[in-house]
A and B are shown apart, each in its own frame.
Chain A
Amino acid sequence: MGDKPTVFYFRMMNYFKKIIYSILVIFVIVSCSSDNEDEIDQVPQFDRSSILKNYADNIIIPRYNDFKAELDNLEIAVNNFTQTPNSSNFDQLHDMWLVTYKKWQYVEMFNIGKAEEIMYFNTINTYPIDEQRIKENISSQKFDLRNSNDWSCQGLSGVDYMLHGVGISKEEVIQQYKDDSNYGNYLKNLLTIMTSNTADIVQDWSTYKSTFIGSSGNSNTSSLNMLTNDFIYYFEKGLRTNKIAIPVGYFSGGNPFPEKTEAYYSSKNSFENVSKVLAKEALTASESLFIGKSSSGSVGASLKTYLDYLHSADVNKDNLSPIIVANFQKAHQALDDLNENFIDQINDDKSKMLNTFDKLQALVVNMKTNMLSILSIQVDYIDADGD
């Protein structure tokens, strides 16, 4: 048996050489034929990184900057008010809060990179807030806002409570801040953590951007897949479920929970009816991302243009993008029909809220089945084997 394996080794090497040559030949034939094909039939190839570039440069980063700027203004307003709790400072603070909250609607969906790491959206917009716990935090002055148990005690929803919930009128609220400096102190703490987290994320995007755009593949962890998943997750949970479905009682046997509406205290105590305003901004933000529209109104590469491309390349028969755009229109109309104050809307006529839910649901169905299917993006991050 001694030298047989050596002979065999050479035989095997010959086999392998043949195999490798054959593969090379096949590759060359295939690549030549593809070169020829290029000249005859130019198929414009879609570059995913163009979407990522447009999203990062014209949507995500500017939107974060907008939000950060308003948040910084909000912090100034908070400082002014806590220093001098009076009516005009309160009004300014309230207005700044609403402006900031609106800008927030444009960034909540970007739960990616640093934001994902620090669970950013939970720290800014968890509602309903935990009234009892906030009260304890205020009186004890011992709290750790980085603790996930305190997500329901902070953020813009927390500020809502601090401005509109610690008393049932402006006068009462101002009096609280005059009587007890703990209130002002807690409010300032809420701003500190928000501004510091936001600054971190804005800072991070300056370096993360190239990673984000560079990851232009189609795997579970590449940018477009993660962003699209975040976007749909946000649309389904953050927008449809939290803003509409839960308050109207869709998941609770028709028992409504008006106290679970977004920015509940401002509406409830008649400071300003804001539920619809915020929901409209959120829907506009979602639509803008889908069609690739920046805050300045310019339109670039997006999920929509990608769908248009795939349709033009004959990948699917019916173009999805006009269908989804029409879905957005219907959802806007349904929202327009609602009362400015969702608490009143729920108490007066749930059917309009349910109608809005249906229109948002149609978008969820279209995005989760048709859009993800045509883009072949998996709906979860699981890297399980396929067949």
Chain B
Amino acid sequence: METIYSYLSKKQESTSLALFRLGFGLLMTYSIIRFWLKGWIQMMYIDPSFHFTFYGFEWVTPIGNYTYLLFLVCGLAAFFVAIGYRYYISIIIFFLSFTYIELMDKTTYLNHYYFVSILSFLMIFLPCNSSYSIDSYLKKQSIKFCPRWCVDSIKLLLFIVYFYSGIAKINNDWLFEAQPLKIWLTTGSYDFPLIGSNLMQQEWFHYFMSWGGMFYDLLIPFILIYNRTRILGFVLVIFFHLFTALLFPIGMFPYIMIMSSLIFFSSKTHKKILDFILKPIALRINDIKQIENIKIQKQPLGLFVVCIFFIIQFLFPFRYSLYPGELFWNEQGYRFSWRVMLMEKRGYTTFKVVDSQNENSFYVMNDDFLTEFQERQMSFQPDFILEYAHFLGKHYKSQGLKNIEIYADSYVALNGRISKRFIDPDRDLLKEKRGFKNKDWIIPLNEKINSL
């Protein structure tokens, strides 16, 4: 108890939070602009007539052309976060708008969007505007210190992201079959200076990358924590993320991780970086009165929320163990758990609509309702399949068909295995409820991939 109390009273220079806030805000502003310019708002949120929702968040849907406004608000909030202008309102708006965007259609789900969402939630409770911010400039005072746990909480979240994605790699496919890297690297066409393209075809290299990736994820948080190895760690972070950025289309994720990893450096380093970046306006910052000996606010409520937040973060990825069957196949508890790049999974799923009164049946053309992107995601993820079946049920009932049943004809290929039937073709999916109950209408894989 004593040690906990003394830890909580420890302080650290607020420059660490300031640099993090600046980096995060700018990257997010850029991400939103990039998303917009690529035409993805139109393609992913406006064009589709149907959207896949998260269970419990069915009410979160795109809002027509106002969706653009939502992105505008989100982008502006990100920029205000960057410059530290009305920070608390901005980060709350950013968290809400970004999370709303991610909840609109789970077709677009990515782990790093989830990371951004929960990180921005965490930042609501951190005084990231204490210094080097417009807020402090306007108040003409900056606060030199912040509670150390504030900085550490960001490190802890990064620790979870890395370490858990390392744990997720401890499975038979990844370590002992080098899948799916074997498929991706062999069929990718890479031609790097010096290493050329031949290396990617070598089987030993696939194993090297798989094992290397696992050790990297498991160890990098520790390498970054210790003073002596920190520089090495950061070099590894840059190398690893830029290398994967070259290999795979993973968007902003590498840059977000590289920026975030800077948090492990000392406040002094952060201050130097900030002074260096802000050199042109350094004079004006000098005008600001710095409060040094302020008592660190205890923020008991914030601390409490952050503690709950981390308990959830630690436990949530393990919820899959509550379900029987193979995780990679059933995907029950797969998302929100830092499982990245673990599966080369493809499906082909069509639906049969049966009129139970006269046994007439017909098949649905998926492209009548779904975009190609949605159809691809739907075809191998059970919760998508069920939600879509229910949508079809509603659609055909509104067309005047009563007493209908809907059956899925579904095949899935996973990590180089030949495809096999995925959904029990004799189960009427309209009778199955959405939710967290075990989906016993999935035909089991009957193979053990996930050993943990």
Q: How far is the CB of B269 from chain A (nearest CB, A)?
A: 9
Select from chain B the residue with minimum beta-carbon distance to A306.
B187
Are the CB atoms of A387 and B195 closer together than 8 Å?
no
Are the CB atoms of B340 and A369 closer together than 8 Å?
no
CB of A368 closer than 8 Å to a CB of B: yes
Select from chain A the residue with minimum beta-carbon distance to B286.
A1
Are the CB atoms of A218 and B282 closer together than 8 Å?
no
CB of B176 closer than 8 Å to a CB of A: no
Which of chain B's residues 353-404 have a Cβ closer than 8 Å to chain A? 353, 355, 360-365, 371-373, 375-376
CA distance A290 to B412 in the complex (A): 22
Q: How many A-B residue pairs have CB under 8 A?
A: 182
Are the CB atoms of B360 and A253 closer together than 8 Å?
yes
Are the CB atoms of A365 and B419 closer together than 8 Å?
yes
Select from chain B the residue with minimum beta-carbon distance to A1.
B282
Are the CB atoms of B348 and A368 closer together than 8 Å?
yes
**Residues of chain B contacted by A349 (CB below 8 angstroms):** none
**Residues of chain A contacted by B76 (CB below 8 angstroms):** none
Are the CB atoms of B272 and A373 closer together than 8 Å?
no
Are the CB atoms of A320 and B340 closer together than 8 Å?
no
Are the CB atoms of B110 and A387 closer together than 8 Å?
yes
Stretch of B219-227, B244-252, B297-305, B430-438 on the interface side: B244-252
Are the CB atoms of B189 and A387 closer together than 8 Å?
no
**A-contact bits for B335-357, CB 8 A (1 contact / 0 none):** 00000110011111000010100
Other-chain residue from B194, B235, B411, B418 in contact with A318 (beta carbon distance below 8 A)? B418
Are the CB atoms of A43 and B198 closer together than 8 Å?
yes
**Residues of chain A contacted by B416 (CB below 8 angstroms):** 315-317, 373-374
**Residues of chain B contacted by A34 (CB below 8 angstroms):** 195-196, 198-199, 202, 205
CB of B182 closer than 8 Å to a CB of A: yes
**Residues of chain B contacted by A374 (CB below 8 angstroms):** 183, 187, 416
CA distance A378 to B44 in the complex (A): 17
Which of chain B's residues 59-118 have a Cβ closer than 8 Å to chain A? 108, 110-112
Are the CB atoms of A387 and B253 closer together than 8 Å?
yes
**Residues of chain B contacted by A378 (CB below 8 angstroms):** 376
Are the CB atoms of A27 and B195 closer together than 8 Å?
yes
CB of B204 closer than 8 Å to a CB of A: yes
**Residues of chain B contacted by A365 (CB below 8 angstroms):** 348, 411, 419
CA distance A297 to B2 in the complex (A): 84
Are the CB atoms of B419 and A253 closer together than 8 Å?
no
Q: How far is the CB of A69 from chain B (nearest CB, A)?
A: 35
**B-contact bits for A40-51, CB 8 A (1 contact / 0 none):** 010101101000
**Residues of chain A contacted by B108 (CB below 8 angstroms):** 384
Are the CB atoms of B361 and A317 closer together than 8 Å?
no
Select from chain B the residue with minimum beta-carbon distance to A45.
B201
Chain A contributes a number of interface residues (CB within 8 A of B) equal to 68
On whether A41 and B282 interact (CB within 8 A), knowing A27-B195, A30-B195, A31-B196, the answer reads: no
**Residues of chain A contacted by B276 (CB below 8 angstroms):** 5, 8-9, 12
**Residues of chain B contacted by A384 (CB below 8 angstroms):** 40, 44, 108, 373
Stretch of A17-25, A73-81, A205-213 on the interface side: A17-25
CA distance A22 to B417 in the complex (A): 39
CB of B27 closer than 8 Å to a CB of A: no
Are the CB atoms of A217 and B189 closer together than 8 Å?
yes
Other-chain residue from B199, B238, B362, B371 in contact with A250 (beta carbon distance below 8 A)? B362
CB of B309 closer than 8 Å to a CB of A: no
Which of chain A's residues 1-16 have a Cβ closer than 8 Å to chain B? 1, 4-5, 8-9, 11-12, 15
Q: How far is the CB of A29 from chain B (nearest CB, A)?
A: 10
On whether A379 and B376 interact (CB within 8 A), knowing A320-B418, A385-B251, the answer reads: yes
**Residues of chain B contacted by A18 (CB below 8 angstroms):** 231, 235
Are the CB atoms of B183 and A376 closer together than 8 Å?
yes
Which of chain A's residues 351-387 have a Cβ closer than 8 Å to chain B? 364-366, 368-370, 372-387
CB of B324 closer than 8 Å to a CB of A: no
CA distance A250 to B353 in the complex (A): 11
On whether A313 and B373 interact (CB within 8 A), knowing A254-B361, A318-B418, A387-B340, the answer reads: no
**A-contact bits for B185-217, CB 8 A (1 contact / 0 none):** 011110001111111011111000000000000
CB of B121 closer than 8 Å to a CB of A: no
CB of B413 closer than 8 Å to a CB of A: yes
Q: How far is the CB of A316 from chain B (nearest CB, A)?
A: 4
Select from chain A the residue with minimum beta-carbon distance to B283.
A1
Are the CB atoms of B183 and A373 closer together than 8 Å?
yes
CA distance A379 to B370 in the complex (A): 14
Q: Which 4 A-B pairs have the closest CB atoms?
A: A385-B251, A380-B372, A253-B362, A369-B419
Instruction: List 28 A–B pairs whose Cβ atoms lie within 8 Å, in order of A's numbering.
Output: A5-B275, A5-B282, A8-B273, A9-B276, A23-B239, A31-B199, A34-B195, A34-B198, A34-B199, A37-B204, A43-B203, A45-B201, A48-B189, A218-B188, A241-B365, A365-B411, A368-B346, A369-B348, A369-B413, A373-B419, A375-B187, A376-B188, A379-B372, A380-B372, A383-B249, A386-B249, A387-B112, A387-B250
Apart from A27-B193, A369-B413, A380-B376, list 8 A-B contacts with CB within 8 A: A5-B279, A45-B198, A241-B365, A315-B182, A316-B417, A317-B416, A379-B376, A385-B252
